[in-house]
Amino acid sequence: MIIDCHGHYTTAPGPHNDWRQSQLAAFREGRRAPDYPAISDDEIRESIEQNQLRLLRERGADMTIFSPRASAMAHHQGDERVSAEWARACNDLIARVVGLFPATFIGVCQLPQSPGAALDSSVAELERCVLELGFVGCNLNPDPSGGRWTAPPLTDRYWYPIFEKMVELDVPAMVHVSSSCNPVFHATGAHYINADTTAFMQFIQGDLFTDLPDLRLVIPHGGGAVPYHWGRYRGLADMLKKPPLSEHVMRNVLFDTCVYHQPGIDLLFEVIDTGNILFGSEMVGAVRGIDPETGHYFDDTKRYIDALGLPEAERAMVYSGNARRVYPRLDKALRGRGL
């Protein structure tokens, strides 16, 4: 079985996205947001069947861990109430996708974060999505300010309420920023990769996993710059008098394979232990075109992994075993289906 750990609903029906614009306009004008529109099952089916589902079948994967569009979380827009309304609408739409395609998609939720706000509403929404909607994890934005980086490091106790709830519910988070309001940082080309790299360094500097040894966090996009600079981070951990990375961070942190060329995947697997890598593509996402050098889609990451020639046991770990271990609620759901 092949499980893609990193999928976003980037093709959500137009009325959903239009409502978001109306919601933000109402906030700016001091009005109440309009009612959420009626979206038919047929609209959802069409948006999925012609996009994610088609590509999954063409590329040979079986299931996607599916969440709302990361770039549209935009926690820096509106206020805490606006963010809560938007998160709920997005998560309910993901639940409808899962309900229509239960064999192919399983949900991960967006959290209603807001710059400077407490995480109470995020804790409540995570609990709702896991216990009521059957979701298996969440996306956690380490920078709700959208490129201004006003939030404390992920090792700060500010974040502990959501981390403690994750441990209680036995679900992981993907550490995933949203859009950037800072023109210095292109969202997907700079802000995403910066955030991945920044989060990893924060984990080195702190002692988060001493306090929460069962916490599990996925850093997407191949870990940002981390594998390429692995020696730097090993050296910094040593200078900071921290244990080796294998003990200090990598028992709790995993990377995905959203790296869009063969040399990058080769490096990822050469540097990072196979047990810390989850198959992911983020397809119909940040990079959607065809690579003129190969004639294949940049985000067809399965092709790169297949080219590695991994031993079967390691291949099984990357394609499904690691995901089932990191997302135990997913594993339970699959075992319930005899898989």
Q: Which residues does the annotation mark as catalytic?
A: 282
Strand order in the sheet with 217-219: 109-110, 138-140, 173-175, 217-219, 253-256, 277-278
Cα dihedral across residues 182, 69, 81, 208: positive or negative: negative
> Helix (H, G, I), strand (E, B), or coil: what is residue 14?
helix
**Residue 217 to residue 52: CA distance in whole angstroms:** 24
- 């979701």: which residue's tokens? 135
Question: Which candidate, 195, 194, 203, 199, places its Cα nearest to that of 240?
Answer: 203
For 204, list phi and psi in degrees, rounded to 5. -65, -45
Q: Which residues contact 239 (CB under 8 A, 6 or more apart)?
A: none
